[in-house]
Every structure is written in structure tokens, then in C-alpha cells.
A = this chain, B = another copy of it.
Amino acid sequence: MNKQSDTKIRYAVIGLGNIAQMAVLPAFEHATENSKLVALVSSDAEKLRILAERYQVSITGSYDDLDRLLRSGEIDAIYVATPNTLHRNAVERAARAGVHVLCEKPLAATVADCRAMLHAAADAHIKLMTAYRLHFEQTNLRAIERVRAGEIGEPRIFSSVFSQQVREGDIRTRAEYGGGALFDMGIYCVNAARYLFQAEPFEVTALRVRGSDPRFTEVDEMTSAILRFPGDRIAQFVSSQGAADVSEFRVVGTKGDIRLDPAYSYHGLMREFFTVNGETEAQTTPLHDQFAPELVHFSQCILDDEDPEPAGEEGLADVRILEAIVESAALGRRVTLSPFERSRRPSGELEMRKPPPRKVEPVHAPPSSKASNE
């Protein structure tokens, strides 16, 4: 680790697409207790100029400047918000420079890349965290705690739909960047099934639709999968980039159920519907900053020299399932997953409440869908 200034972890944000601009950069305003934005990296000079001014950031650079920046001693950690297929390169470069990495989900576009990234981080003794914002989000954490406490009995069924109308030409429609409905959206459903069941699936079957829509010549428009978990549990989901906005899961137990709708949103409120004995209680969580908690948690892990969770392994855990889903859909048969265990799971202890994020105007970075930035 580089020398720290004022016990605040100094971050460079790598990649300045819509999510970085709308969510990550504003989040530093709610992470001032231990985190500081000090550098921006992008291939777009105008983005760098406008955003450096907006956030009073003095260090900017292109990807060609990245290694020099990482070795400058000015940076303790990077937030990787580049396209999925470029995550590995950023992590390996950071590891070589001894800089810690908070990396957007999916951790990478392949299991092979994930493993390489985990090895690079371990070898260099840097900390690697996968940016699962919902692991710190109160509505999802309350659902986890209810399931864990047996409030719906034994959990048996997870069912989810996560869909949006992706903008034509968006990065999520580009194969070379690891786009597609499954890797962009389905990963939330897989992650939620895993954190609600607190277990790993051992079997998947799936169908994918590329479809005739001209937006989806390179990637899946829609993927649906069924995952089998130990203890007679089943998870099903549909992820789609070609349907109206839906963001919902329902976990059904032997005694009751919990429905979150919206379940996965970062730009609006969340709602929980908790039903036992036919009686439903509804709770609304107002819009809140879901990215600042990730920064605060990761920075504190660096400062205290503790292992961050969601770790890199948590990112790998999902990508290996996504790969099995792709394989099942391609082969038209059920795919068995190799044994995999995680000893750490999200829990209510991780909850961190922050105010809503500041509204900003994106620079050269349209939203992925019409509704995303509303």
C-alpha cells in the first residue's frame, strides 16, 4: 500500500461511463469519513476536463497513463468501472503497482479472468472487493435477516424478473465488452438467490433469446434460468434488456414470503412486502446512496487491514454460475456445477445508511435505458 494522506483512502476512478458519473463520483461526497476522490481515468479528454472541474480533482489521465498514475504514490485504490472485459487488465495493472481494487460487477466476463484477477491480487497482497452495492442496502439486508431468522419458515423458492429497455448501441449490447442481459442484469438475480438462500447452486438449466430486435445482434436480449440449491430449493429468473422496467424478486418459504419490488434499483425507492399467514406488511425505503457504503467499507478494510466482503471470490461465485447458464442454454441440457463454498455471506451487520445521491448531468454518457436516470 502507498502512504496514506490523513487516513483517507485516495481513489482513482477508472472508466467514466454512466454508472461512474451518476453514482460512483457523487458517492465520494457521502464517504468523506475515510475516502477521497483524487484521480480520474478515461479515454475521453472532455469528460476528464468537465468532471475534474466538477469534483475538484487534480489528477487525470488516459489509459496510457494508468501505470504511471498507479505508481505515482498518489493513489491507494482504484474503483474499476470500465467495460466488463477490461476489468482484468485494470486489476492486474493495479496489483503490479500494489494498489487496492474495488471492481464493478460482474467481476469479469469469464471464470478464467476472475481466477487470474484473484491470483494477481493475492500474489501482490492487495485487497480486491467486488462492488455488490446491495450487500449494504437495508431493504435487501432486511430480507436476508428475515430469512435467516426463520420469519418465512424454511426458504424454498426464489423467483425474479429484472428487465429494462436498453438503449440502442449501449455498451450492454456489445459482445466485445461482455454485454448482454445475463451478465448485466441476471447477475443481480443470481447474487440475490445466493444471499437469500445463503448457499451455492449445484445445477442449472437455462434458455436464452437473442431474438430479431436489431439492438441484439451481438448479445442475448433475454436469458431465463432455473438454479437448484441444496435443501430442495429452487431459484428461477428472467433477465431481459428488451422489456419494460421490472426489478422484482420474491422468496417463498414454508410459512410466508418476502417480495421486493423494486428489488435491485439504485435510482429510486425500494419496497418490501412481507407476508405471513395471509397478512402483508409493506415498507418503503426512500432513495439512498448505495455506492458510498461500498467506498466506506472498502476504505475501512484497507485502513484496518481486514479482508473486504463481498470479496473477489464473491464475484467469481456468480460468474461461474453465469458461465454454466450460458453453457446450459447453448447445449440444451442441464449443467452440474462443481462444488463451491463461501464461508462469508452478507448480513445485517453490513448495513450502512446514506442520504440520496446528488443529481448530476452525465457527460458523453447516456443512460443504459430510458428509465435509468429518472
Q: Does A332 contact B (CB under 8 A)?
A: yes
Q: Which residue of B lies closest to A335 (CB)?
A: B332
Distance to closest chain B CB from A220 (angstroms): 11
Binary CB contact string for chain A from 199 to 232 against chain B (1 if under 8 A, 0 otherwise) = 0000101110101110000000110111010001
Shortest Cβ distance from residue A256 to the other chain B in the assembled complex, whole angstroms: 5
10 A-B residue pairs with CB within 8 Å = A157-B222, A207-B234, A222-B232, A226-B236, A234-B238, A240-B252, A244-B257, A244-B276, A278-B371, A332-B334
| A128 to B: closest C-beta gap in Å | 34
Q: Which residues of B contact A209 (CB under 8 A)?
A: 228, 232, 234
Establish whether residues B207 and A207, one from each chain, have CB atoms under 8 Å apart when the complex forms.
Answer: no
- Chain B residue numbers with a CB within 8 Å of A205 are 205-207, 226, 328, 332, 334
For A, the interface residue count at a CB cutoff of 8 angstroms equals: 50
Tell me if A153 counts as interface (CB < 8 A to partner B): yes
A255 at the interface (CB under 8 A from B): yes
Q: Are B278 and A156 in contact (CB under 8 A)?
A: no
Are A246 and B250 neighbours in the complex by a CB distance under 8 Å? Answer: yes
Which residues of B are found within 8 Å of A374, using beta-carbon distances? Answer: 278
Closest to A250 in B: B161
A163 in the interface, Cβ–Cβ < 8 Å? yes
For residue A98, CB closer than 8 A to chain B, the reply is: no
- In the complex, the chain B residue whose C-beta lies closest to that of A165 is B254
Q: How far is the CB of A211 from chain B (nearest CB, A)?
A: 4
Contact A254 B243 (CB under 8 A): yes
A119 within 8 A of B: no
Q: Mark A304-329, 1 if CB is under 8 A from B, else 0.
A: 00000000000000000000000010
Q: At the interface, yes or no: A248 with Cβ under 8 Å from chain B? A: yes
